Amino acid sequence: MKRLALTMIILLAPTLALAQNDSLAAVEKRIKREIIEELRAERDAEKKRRPKLFEPYGFVRNYICYDTRQCITTMGEMFNIMPKDVLPNEDGSEDLNAVHEMTFVSFTTRLGVDVNGPSIWKAAASAKVEADFCGFGSNNTMFRIRQAYVRLAWDRVSVTCGQTWHPMVIQVMPSISGLASGAPFSPFNRSPQINVSVGAPRGWNFTAAALYQFPNTSVGPDGTSFDYSRWSLWPELYASVKHVGERLTVGAGVDILSIMPRKTSTARRTAIVDGVETQAELTVRVRDRVTGISPEIFADYKSGLFNVKGKVIYGQNTAHLTMISGFGATSYDPATGSYEYAPLRSATSWINFTYGNRCKAGVMGGFSQNLGARKDFISTDDYWVRGAKNTDYIWRVSPSFTYTAGNLALALEMDYTAVGYGDEAIDGRAKALRTVDNWRICTMIRYSF
């Protein structure tokens, strides 16, 4: 309006000047000054809205944890999965795994940088590099990459290429302070991937991703390795649909993993030499696969300071998601060296309640039931599991309290985990004969920047 007024004044200036030379000049100067001030204000506001090219972030985090017994863990015993089974001494009078432990570490400290670049193909271009000190060498911790990806985002479509959270993890995650983030009930995995997210009207969103394994990998005949994924050539596939409402988010997804446990095997061939029948063992190329299909449903409800969320998963060979799972060999053909495999199945769920902001109280509960395989394995030695082979079920209750003052956060979390252990079964489904439990009490101090 001010610019229009100035234009009209300039056009009418010759006429108005005859009557009001002095007053017109004053008005014109005032409007020009206001327009200049308005343009400067718009320019300053635009600079504030425009993201910085580099935005560093991170935190210094220290944990002090106490366990009532030895547990199956990773990351220097900070990533707690489940308590170990009873290990009796020679006369059975003591449980050698009933050892109390105390840990004080700071290697979960994290550094990252977000990069905001210019538009490419009419898309907002960005990148992320994030690292911490949770990698381990022979006698120390090492700086390792957590996330490293490039993202192009249009109005409704975004494409992410690089290492970041597995979409089965990030759809809904528990709000807890423990490093394990709810594992083995909530999936935990970061992997290289190409991820496409499409937003639709009325709050609908569709996600599709193709992933390869590293650093979180499957178990198999050669232990824990990303080779099974590399040999497969076929990527892990994930797809989901969800609806994001004002308070309620609901969705469903499915993950398909097909890996090759072996690239070579041993075949036994019969040969006749000088009229004598002999058996020869040959190393042969095999292309056998094991395929797991894992559907999930999830929900997240928020109202004021209250939040409840959860997930249910029917999992098949989800060891790469840091869940209690795996697969095994169900048959072997000595003539070709080929194996047939079957995935271990499980039914897993978790729910998480939190209330508060500056002072936040919460509790997470999780349950996982081992459903075994559809076929018997060749033997109890011919199947491979993350966790323990003789697990029937596992459940957890984890209350927590977090206090936040500016950039500083203090947390106290108690984690009670119980496992039903039995004897190893030929189909992978052990029947619980005893319950083994562990109390983990953990305090955390974090300063974010």
Of 166, 167, 267, 264, residue with least CA distance to 213: 166
Output phi, psi for 18, to 5 deg.
-65, -30
pLDDT tens digits, residue range 236-265? 999 999 999 999 999 999 999 999 999 999
Intervals of the chain under pLDDT 70: 1-28, 44-51, 137-139, 273-274
Q: For residue 325, what are the domain limits?
A: 51-448
Residues 31 and 66 in one domain: no
Residues 294 and 376 in one domain: yes
Residues 14 and 128 in one domain: no
Residues with Cβ < 8 Å from 111, sequence gap 6 or more? 56, 58, 130, 131, 132
> Under a CB-based contact definition with an 8 Å cutoff, are residues 84 and 417 in contact?
no
The residue from 32, 50, 68 where one domain ends is 50
Distance CA 139, CA 364 (A): 34
Residues 29 and 116 in one domain: no
User: What is the reported pLDDT for 37?
Assistant: 76
Classify 57 as helix, strand or coil: strand
CATH code of the domain in which 126 resides: 2.40.160.10
For the chain, what is the domain count? 2
Distances (CA, A) of 419 to 80, 81, 274, 348: 13, 11, 60, 14
> Under a CB-based contact definition with an 8 Å cutoff, are residues 296 and 311 in contact?
yes
Classify 354 as helix, strand or coil: strand
User: What is the reported pLDDT for 21?
Assistant: 53
Residues 37 and 112 in one domain: no
Residues 33 and 81 in one domain: no
Distance CA 250, CA 259 (A): 30
Q: Where are the beta strands (DSSP E) in 154-263?
A: 157-165, 190-200, 204-211, 218-220, 223-225, 236-244, 248-259
Query: What is the distance between the terminal CA atoms of the chain, rounded to a whole angstrom?
Result: 44
Residues 115 and 18 in one domain: no
Residues 11 and 132 in one domain: no
Among positive and negative, which fits the CA dihedral 430, 434, 435, 436?
A: negative
User: What is the reported pLDDT for 365?
Assistant: 98
Residues 42 and 57 in one domain: no
Residues 46 and 59 in one domain: no
The residue from 15, 30, 50 where one domain ends is 50
Residues 23 and 89 in one domain: no
User: What is the reported pLDDT for 179?
Assistant: 83
Residues 283 and 161 in one domain: yes
Output phi, psi for 38, to 5 deg.
-65, -40
Of 312, 305, 371, 306, residue with least CA distance to 343: 371
User: What is the reported pLDDT for 16?
Assistant: 47
Helix, strand, coil % (nearest 5) of the chain?
A: 15, 55, 30
